[in-house]
Structure 1
Amino acid sequence: MSHIDPTREVMAAFRDLPSDRPIAMINLLRFRDRADYPSDHADHATGLSGADAYRRYGAAAAAPFQRARGRQVWLGRAELTVIGPADETWDLAFIAAYPTGDAFVAMLRDPEYREAVVHRQAAVLDSRLIRCEPRGPGAAFGEDGEA
């Protein structure tokens, strides 16, 4: 089963969480070999790879991301799943931070972002998007400073 877009139920749960404090979003992405655009989209027959379509998404979503005051705080290429299903591989992993949950939701509602998301949908075969409450480091390894 692929996970590409959030469900209505998950977005309702997202909105039930505190919306006025910083959040970090862990993104794990697996790309399609070939992008899968809708048949009426201009890029439908271009033969773009999923990675190329995702780059188009990044370029098209950059302005809404900036308007939401989002920032990418870490990016990496997954090499090996050390703990977890061996067949759950990822092409790209990154963490994006937003000043508030409301800022993230505002980005999702931005008309320019809504146009950009078609590239993400065409690019991604499977993904995970995990909302996190940022916390400072604790005194010891694995502590979060909030205990």
Structure 2
Amino acid sequence: MGDINYIDPSPINFQAFKDLSRDEPIHMLNLLQYRDLAQYPAGHEHHGNGWTGKRAYEEYGKTSGPIFRRVGGKIVWRGVFQTMVTGPEDRRWDDGFVAEYPNSGAFFEMIKDPDYQKAVVNRTAALVDSRLVRFRPGEAGEGF
């Protein structure tokens, strides 16, 4: 692939996220591309277990899910990639979903939780590339 792969936010992007309103609902678009083989750090309990990236991401979901739900998060849309219609032809995503949080404070509460910080190792091990994009929810309906 010709472009850079992203797993974690850059300091500049994360600051831009933090500078936005913190008291309104947010939608976080997640696009995921899994590694063929998960890459856990040496010494981690799952290092060398032969998990696929998809399996490691499932572990991330299992271990972070209770925290996500506790802060009021929910999945409002989920899909499985089929083809790129507009965009780089060599780009593909394995999965995508939109997570809704009651506000960005809930997102911060989740990522600061010590159990979440243990769980997120699974996400890092799982992904070769990702996108995480914040949106303010709008009205759904028939029109663009």
Residues 66-115 of structure 1: CA deviation (Å, up to 9, x unaligned): 11100001111000010111111000010100000111111111111100
- The partner residue of 1:85 within 88, 110, 130 is 88
Kindly provide the amino acid, as one letter, of the partner of residue 133 in structure 2.
I
Q: How far did 1:65 drift?
A: 0.1
Percent of paired sites with the same residue: 44
Equivalent residue for 1:68?
71
5+ residue gaps, structure 2, are none
Cα distance in 2 for partners of 1:6, 1:62 equals: 20
Secondary structure, counterpart of 1:30 in structure 2: strand
TM-score normalised by L of structure 2: 0.94
Runs of at least 4 residues off by over 2 Å: none
1:117 aligns with 2:120: yes
The aligned residue for residue 47 of structure 1 is: 50
Which residue among 9, 12, 15 is the counterpart of 2:18? 15
> Is residue 2:136 matched to residue 1:141?
no
**What residue ranges of structure 1 are gaps of 5+ in the alignment?**
143-147
Q: How many residue pairs were aligned? A: 141
How far apart, in 2, do the equivalents of 1:10 and 1:105 lie? 15
Q: Structure 2: which amino acid aligns with 1:99?
A: P
Aligned-residue offset at 1:137: 3.6
Quote the residue 2:61 is aligned against. 58
Residue 32 of structure 1 corresponds to which residue in structure 2? Answer: 35
> Partner residue of 2:130?
127
CA distance in structure 1 between the aligned counterparts of 2:5 and 2:71, rounded to whole angstroms: 27
For 1:111 and 1:137, locate their aligned partners in 2 and report how far apart those are by CA, in whole Å. 36
> What per-residue deviation string (whole Å, max 9, x for no partner) do you get for residues 98-140 of structure 1?
00011111111111110000000000000000100001147x6
Q: SS where residue 104 of structure 1 aligns?
A: helix
